[in-house]
A = this chain, B = another copy of it.
Amino acid sequence: MSRSPDSTDKIREKKKRFLSREERIIKKALSLLVRDGIDKVTVSAIAREAGVGKGTVYKHFLTKTEILMRIVLNYERNITENLRKGIESTEAGDPGAAARSYFQARLSDPALDRLVQQLEVKLQGNEEVEDKMLELHAMRRSNINALNVMIAKLIDKGILEDVPPHYHYLSCWALAQGAVEAYFNVSYGADVEDKEDFLRFVANIGITMGNSGQLRDDIPSQCLINLPKP
């Protein structure tokens, strides 16, 4: 009753191709969303861009909303991964590492970061993807716990100001969020010729803000995050 090894291979192969196609759909959806804006992208366009039929898209995703949600989750996973590495480094004695990692991850592709923020706002409260939303929040809660532990230690050491720990990471989050918006804002962004330099400036604020002052002038130059060119 068991399939022959040959048949199993075929099935495995098939699944692989199926998943790679799913990747392609997501990737193309992403590029369309960034290029044309959230409101302008249709399922038809995604299918066309991905070189598959509309029906095929619906074999992979139950609804359009699921595609968007997937993008948000993918991104958050990436951020989380980077943040975790940063926290580890902080724990290992480099106080600014977590913030640095975080800013670097988010500001390295501002367009993508911005898109994801917009998507999250759009998906907020959508019952269709409630479960995925819960997954997102769970991921963040987990990060938050790690951050709280880490920050509490830094506060204990007198490195960070003694306010509720979440004030610190929320400020970071807010600054990153806002920096991305500034980067794209037509009124403000247009004035910034060296946008990357600005992002570096902001990132440094993020890394040092809320610390108790004594850290401020101690930031070794290697702490300055090195944002990749987008």
Contacts and interface: CB of A to CB of B under 8 A. Distances in A.
Interface in A140-189: 140-141, 144, 163, 166-167, 169-171, 173-182, 185-188
Interface stretch (A10-18, A22-30, A89-97, A114-122): A114-122
Interface string A89-125: 0000000000000000000000000000110111011
Interface stretch (A1-9, A46-54, A197-205, A220-228): A197-205
A39 interface: yes
A83 B88 CA distance: 42
A174 B175 contact: yes
A140 to B, nearest CB: 4
A216 interface: yes
Chain A: interface residue count, which band? Answer: 35 or more
A122 B120 CA distance: 15
Contact of A178 (B120, B167, B179): B179
A196 to B, nearest CB: 12
A45 interface: no
A178 B174 contact: yes
B213 A205 contact: no
Given A37-B124, A175-B178, A178-B177, A188 B213 contact: no
Given A205-B209, A205-B210, A188 B124 contact: no
